Structure 1
Amino acid sequence: MRRGAGVTGRALAASQVSASYGSQRVLDRVDLHIAAGETVGLSGPSGSGKSTLARLLALLHRPDSGHVSLDGTAVTGTRHQVPVAMRTRVAILFQSPRAATDPRLTLADIIAEPLRATGTPPEQARERTAELADTVGLTTDLLTRRPHAVSDGQLQRACLARSLVHRPAYLLCDEATAMLDASTQAHVAAVIGEYQRRHSAGVLVISHDAALLARWADRVVDLS
């Protein structure tokens, strides 16, 4: 079933954002909005600024111009400059789980990272970690292992659990299934879909796979 955009008026939006790396402009006055409950696909060739736009929306970087707003409130800072209650409403799931995790941590520690960062009591953090490990299909024995001792698919499941740990209102998936086998891709997509249905979350799916976007997204934005 297609979900209607803008029903509740809540949205994560980039308005006329521009961004550069050095002297190279990668985004030039781009608009994008993700309504609550909506899945937006984002396509475009390599170098078109898809990942940069995701990082702006995730409040990890500030645009050169334009602004990002969250449920109608303009966001002026990035990372820890943004109040906890606001920044935890947006989560991002990256393409490479090995680049996105600390190899010294166990999978349980990886999942619980955002909880520790926001001062969640240890017992509550353990309960939430166990709950999400079950949701993404990680067995108890896997939680004690470090990244080198698990597969890419298992590590990406831990990263997915980590991204959901604060129950975000918006989830940004930056080629998040590109490195996974077909069965793990399907499982990750199913977990995200169920989370979205339960929480009316907005989801951004970045992919080069037109067939995947056609199946998953309510609409597709092309940055070509």
Structure 2
Amino acid sequence: MMKNLKNIYKLLPVLLLVVFTGCKKDKKGENNNETIDIKSYSIVGKFEGNYSGKTFYFPYLITFAENAKAVIYAGYDGTTPIQGNYTLEKGLLKINLGSDQVINFTINKENITSYTPQKFDVKFTSYLLQKKPAENQFSGSQFNGSFASTASNLLIMTKFKFNATQYGESSLGDPIINKDYTLINNMAASSNTGANSMLTFFVIINGKLEVARFNDGVISSGSFTKQ
């Protein structure tokens, strides 16, 4: 009897290892089969553009809604979005924009692991799956940074300050809030202001403000850190 007990005690660590290893595999299998509600997320990042012999990186936002609707907001103001449809099956997100233009993203849990466009000429240089915030991420925030533009080789230092519906900007001093913006998914915004129709598109990516602008023939882009 004592000999049998000794043999059981010797085998116990092996048995425990098998049990725990089995549980770990099951859990991993369950995680791989998890699906997310893509409507609660957006894809954000930057795309590349070349103007006047210079390379610029502009922000974009992709949203997902009911009836398998996908919308890409990009360019300088985000007010002329690209409409499409999407499917999400077994981690493969397909966005169909028509005319055989398809954007493929592979999603593992809450991460995008690959990006493959088909007949889609816009070059995404970054892509991040970002959960839609419950509240306006601009309201009450201030950002500092600089613009690069086609008009000059110098960086233009700029400050942005936002409330719930408007923003202000300045190079020196505290910005005066006096320009309207339209909120998109609580993490992006567009603005069309001024006599020359200054078009501005904002996207907050991982807490950093990315901006694209077209103003009287001048194209600009910039990154701004929260103050």
Q: TM-score range by the shorter chain?
A: under 0.3
Higher RCO (CA < 8 A, seq sep 6+): 1
Q: TM-score, normalised by structure 2?
A: 0.26
What TM-score comes out, normalization by structure 1 length? 0.26
Higher helix share: 1
